[in-house]
Amino acid sequence: MTQEKGHGDRKLETLSYLPIPVASLRADTVTNFDLYLPSHDGRTPVLYRDGVFPITTALLDRLRVGKVETLLVKSTDEENYRHYLESNLGSLVADENMPLEERSALLYDSARNLVRDVLRDPRAGNVLRRSEEVVSHMVRFLFADKQAFYHLIQVTSYDYYTYTHSVNVFVFNIALAARLGVREEDLHDFGQGALLHDIGKSKIDPNVLNNPGKLSPDQWRIIKMHPIFGDQLLLEQGCKSEIVIDIVRHHHEKLCGGGYPDNLSGDDISAWVRISTISDIFDALTTRRPYKAALDSYHSLRLMQEEMSEELDPDFFLAFVEMMGNIERPRHPGRK
């Protein structure tokens, strides 16, 4: 515990507390975690608000007047803070006083944490409800402001983890579908399918999944099972959406045939899946893994054009190239 450490141990202090933006606190909510004021002289942070007392408008005003933009929570409360953010996402996203970049980062982090929880425990009872809610906030955010997509792309992770990859695919999917003229209200199942598309990987041994070497035929056979595992998991959860199941089960199918698990081709592959496949491949190419460097957007799109054109829907791919043409995904060394 921090209190047991000697005063002045800045390094340990930093490890024990997590800075949070004051802007992420909502009036008339109860955090259930304590808030601390940072100390500028290396001393233990000072308790500012006990978590059982509601956050009031007066308290937020006082912080604003005092130009306090950051408070601290104990690292042990990190999970509680994330759940607090998730349950207040609607009001955070709609808060025009908060810069778009900050809202983008909060949304991205909430979606990423949600997918990470889902992958850890895909049978948790609330997987579908939580993902529906996050999806609806993100879709609304992306449609509310033309710059929102750009800002969300800026915060997409450059390092590959299944959970960050899932959020990135979601962002590309929604942006492309919107560009193709799909209406906001028709994108919720599509977004949920993107966010959960690799949920079946939760049933695969991480040592196989992250194997940097050449996979044995047996390991490859197991990895190719993840769309079927995902389909099963969602059915067990009571998922009723054919679109969600379609994306989860078919995102590795190829337009020319030869994909897995059902070896579909041509018109048997839905438009939802065709878009998801493009986003899925693009994100895999543009993110870094322990065993491969990331390609930049230009080289990724060129590789897709030269080596995968038979597999991908040509019209959707062209629209994707036009959409990504002017956007380079930045490197975010600190962000995972």
Q: Which residues would be at the binding site for Fe ion (CB under 5 A)?
A: 198, 280
Q: CB of residue 226 vs Fe ion: minimum separation in angstroms? A: 6
Q: CB of residue 250 vs Fe ion: minimum separation in angstroms? A: 10
CB atoms within 10 A of CB 138: 27
CB nearer to Fe ion: pick between 34 and 283 = 283
CB nearer to Fe ion: pick between 77 and 198 = 198
d(CA 115, CA 196): 7
Q: CB of residue 266 vs Fe ion: minimum separation in angstroms? A: 21
CB nearer to Fe ion: pick between 13 and 280 = 280
d(CA 112, CA 91): 19
Q: What is the token pair recorded at 3?
A: 């209190």
**Is 226 exposed, middle or buried (CB count within 10 Å of its CB: 0-12, 13-18, 19+)?**
buried
CB nearer to Fe ion: pick between 136 and 164 = 164
Q: CB of residue 166 vs Fe ion: minimum separation in angstroms? A: 7
- In sequence order, the β-bridge partners of residue 72 are 19, 36
Q: CB of residue 32 vs Fe ion: minimum separation in angstroms? A: 35
CB nearer to Fe ion: pick between 34 and 280 = 280
**Which residue in 113, 115, 95, 111 sits closest to 103, CA to CA?**
95
Q: CB of residue 167 vs Fe ion: minimum separation in angstroms? A: 11
d(CA 182, CA 139): 12
CB nearer to Fe ion: pick between 188 and 197 = 197
Contact predicate 298/260, CB 8 Å: no
CB nearer to Fe ion: pick between 16 and 202 = 202
Q: CB of residue 284 vs Fe ion: minimum separation in angstroms? A: 7
**Which residue in 60, 34, 30 sits closest to 46, CA to CA?**
34
